[in-house]
Amino acid sequence: MESENSCPAEYLLKMLSGKWKPQIFRLALDGPIRFNTLLRQIEGSNKQSIAVALKELEEQSLLEKTIIQQKPLHIEYMLTEKGRTLIPVFQQLEHVVRVQ
């Protein structure tokens, strides 16, 4: 946590704030996802902005990066154990949005 006095909800919102982070996280819920798949599925995104968001999610220990050593080389991202703990939060948010 950022500090002992910070609100957990505020901390979580800061972790996932950014234009592409929530979409990346949502797409990673279904399992490992490749960089190019993220680019295709997140409309309006570009390589640089996705790369920055992925790096930040990695630094926050929500995603882990795996380099697949095959030709052609590719990279997959998947939720970490810490990231998986947020799945119920996302499921609840989706439920709230659907109910409205």
Q: Which of 36, 13, 19, 18 is nearest to 90 (CA)?
A: 13
Phi, psi of 17 (to 5 degrees): -75, 150
Q: Which residue has the tokens 């800061």?
A: 14
CATH number of 8-99: 1.10.10.10
Q: What is the pLDDT along the chain (100 residues), one digit of tens a residue?
A: 455 567 887 887 888 888 899 999 999 998 999 999 999 999 999 999 999 999 999 999 999 999 989 888 889 999 999 999 998 988 888 888 887 6
Q: Record the pTM.
A: 0.83
Amino acid at 41: Q
For residues 89 and 76, give the distance between their C-alpha atoms in angstroms, rounded to a whole number: 23
